Amino acid sequence: MTSQPPHGADLHLHTIFSDGAYTPEDLVAAAHRNRLATIGLTDHDTLDGFERTSRAAEELSLEAIPGVEFSCPSQGDREEAHIVGLFLDPGHDELQDTLKQFRENRRRRAIRMVEELNRMGVALHADDVLKLAGVGNISRLHVAHAIVNAGHVPSIEAAFRRYIRKGAPAYVPRDRPSADWTIALIHRAGGVAVLAHPGLTKRDEDIPRLVSYGLDALEVYCPDHDSNMEQHYLDIAAQHRLLVSAGSDCHGHNKKRSHLGSIRLDRNHVEALRERASGQ
Ligand code: AMP
Ligand code: MN
Ligand code: MN
Ligand code: MN
C-alpha cells in the first residue's frame, strides 16, 4: 500500500468532552492514521477538549482548529439548526462565559430529567449521569446510558423512545440561544459560522435568513449527503456566496453513521474559511 502524505481536512468532530467516544488523543491518532492534515474539533457547546487536542495534534504535525457545535431553535416545531463555529479564539471571555453557562444549564436539565424519571418509577441517581458524562458536557446520550445501565430498557434507542426523545414523558427542553445571536457570538470570538449537515435537518428555506444573520459557510460534504445533495448544497452556497466546509461528524463508536477519513475537504476551502475568520 502506498502511503500518501497527510492531506485535507475534517472540520466536524466530537470527543468525550461532549457526546463522542474518543479522547482527544484517540481522535488525533485516528486522524493521523487516516492521513488527515487538519482537524476541526467541534464538541457540542464546549471548547474544553481543545487544549488536549491541540497538544496531541502538535506531536503528530497535524493542524487542529478550535470549534464548537451550537444548537439553535428553529421556528415552529421543526428540527433545531446546528451551527458550527470554526477558528474560534479559545481565550475569548464572552465565548467562554457563555459555554460555562451552557454547561451549567445542561447539568441542571439532566437533574430535572432524572427527577421526571424517578417520578415515573425509573430508579436512577443524578450522580450516575454526572459520572457518565465525566469531563464532558452532559447530554441526553448520558441520561440514556444511565437508564440502560440501571436495567430499565435494553438499548439507548429504547431509552430515547420510551423516556427522553422530544415529546416523551421525561424529556426536558434546553434553553438555546437564537441563530442570529449565535452567529454574532461566533464572529465576536473571531470565528466563522457554518451550517452543519443541512441535508439532515432539511431546512433549506431557513438558509436565506441565516445568510442575513451573517452565516459564512455550508457543510456541503458530510455523511448525510449523497452526491446529488452535495451538488444541491454547492449550488445554494454559490447562490448566496457562502464558503464550503466538510466534516464527518465523527462520534467514535457512539454513532454508527460517521467514519473518520470518509470526508476530506480540499485545502483551498480550508484556506478560504481561515481567511474569512481572520477578517472577523
Ligand atoms: P442533547 O444535546 O442533550 O439534547 O442530546 C443530544 C444527544 O442525544 C446527541 O448525542 C444525539 O445524537 C442523541 N440522540 C438524540 N436522539 C436520539 C435517539 N433517538 N437515539 C440515540 N441518540 C439520540
Ligand atoms: Mn452529537
Ligand atoms: Mn449536529
Ligand atoms: Mn456534530
Q: In this predicted structure, what is the pLDDT of residue 259?
A: 83
- Which cell numbers hold the place of 109? 436539565
Q: What separation in Å is there between the alpha carbon of 179 and the centre of ligand 2?
A: 18
Q: What is the mean predicted confidence (pLDDT) over 244-264?
A: 88
- Contact between 213 and 220 under an 8 Å Cβ cutoff? The reply is no
- Nearest-atom index, ligand 1, CA of 157: 20
CA–CA distance, 22 with 51 (Å, rounded to integer): 15
Residue from 139, 174, 176 whose mutation best tests the ligand 1 pocket (most atoms within 8 A of CB) = 139
pLDDT higher than threshold 70 for residue 24: yes
160 C-beta closer than 6 A to ligand 1:
yes
Residue from 16, 103, 140, 153 whose mutation best tests the ligand 1 pocket (most atoms within 8 A of CB) = 140
- Which cell numbers hold the place of 227? 452526491
Nearest alpha carbon, ligand 1 atom 17: 160
pLDDT averaged over the chain?
95
Compute the Cα dihedral for 131, 134, 138, 141 and give only its sign. negative
Amino acid residing at 113:
M
Q: What separation in Å is there between the alpha carbon of 203 and the centre of ligand 1?
A: 19
What ligand has the least distance to the C-alpha of 176? 1
Q: What separation in Å is there between the alpha carbon of 141 and the centre of ligand 1?
A: 5
Q: For residue range 46-62, what is the model confidence (pLDDT) as tens digits?
A: 999 999 999 999 999 99
C-alpha angle with apex 47: 43 to 53, nearest 5 degrees?
A: 80
pLDDT higher than threshold 50 for residue 121: yes
Q: In this predicted structure, what is the pLDDT of residue 78?
A: 64
Given the C-alpha cell 466538510, which residue does it identify?
A: 246
Nearest alpha carbon, ligand 1 atom 21: 157
- The SS3 of residue 232 is helix
Q: What percent of the chain has pLDDT over 90?
A: 90
175 C-beta closer than 6 A to ligand 1:
no
156 C-beta closer than 6 A to ligand 1:
yes
- Nearest-atom index, ligand 1, CA of 139: 3
219 C-beta closer than 6 A to ligand 1:
no
pLDDT higher than threshold 60 for residue 275: yes
Give, in words, the CATH class of 9-99+175-278. alpha beta
What ligand has the least distance to the C-alpha of 138? 1
Q: For residue 40, which of 76, 6, 21, 15 has the smallest C-alpha distance?
A: 15
Q: For residue range 219-239, what is the model confidence (pLDDT) as tens digits?
A: 999 999 999 999 999 999 999
pLDDT higher than threshold 80 for residue 74: no
Q: For residue range 95-117, what is the model confidence (pLDDT) as tens digits?
A: 999 999 999 999 999 999 999 99
For domain 107-164, the CATH architecture is Orthogonal Bundle (1.10)
How would residue 268 be classed by pLDDT, with cut points 50, 70 and 90?
very high
Compute the Cα dihedral for 182, 185, 189, 191 and give only its sign. positive
- Contact between 246 and 197 under an 8 Å Cβ cutoff? The reply is no
Q: In this predicted structure, what is the pLDDT of residue 99?
A: 98
- Answer with the residue of higher pLDDT: 280 or 153: 153
- Contact between 44 and 20 under an 8 Å Cβ cutoff? The reply is no
- Contact between 234 and 203 under an 8 Å Cβ cutoff? The reply is no
Q: What is the mean predicted confidence (pLDDT) over 200-205?
A: 89
Q: What is the mean predicted confidence (pLDDT) over 114-134?
A: 96
pTM above 0.85, yes or no: yes
Extents of the domains making up the chain: 9-99+175-278, 107-164
- Contact between 62 and 270 under an 8 Å Cβ cutoff? The reply is no
What ligand has the least distance to the C-alpha of 45? 1
How would residue 1 be classed by pLDDT, with cut points 50, 70 and 90?
very low
pLDDT higher than threshold 50 for residue 129: yes
Q: In this predicted structure, what is the pLDDT of residue 75?
A: 65
- Nearest-atom index, ligand 1, CA of 44: 2
Return the axis-axis angle of helices 24-33 and 50-59, rounded to nearest 10°. Answer: 40
pLDDT higher than threshold 80 for residue 255: no
Alpha-carbon separation of residue 149 from 140, 152, 241 (angstroms): 14, 8, 48
pLDDT higher than threshold 80 for residue 79: no
Amino acid residing at 14:
H
Dihedral, 137, 140, 144, 150 alpha carbons, nearest 10: 60
Give residues with Cβ within 8 angstroms of 268, minimum separation 6.
none
Q: In this predicted structure, what is the pLDDT of residue 3?
A: 75
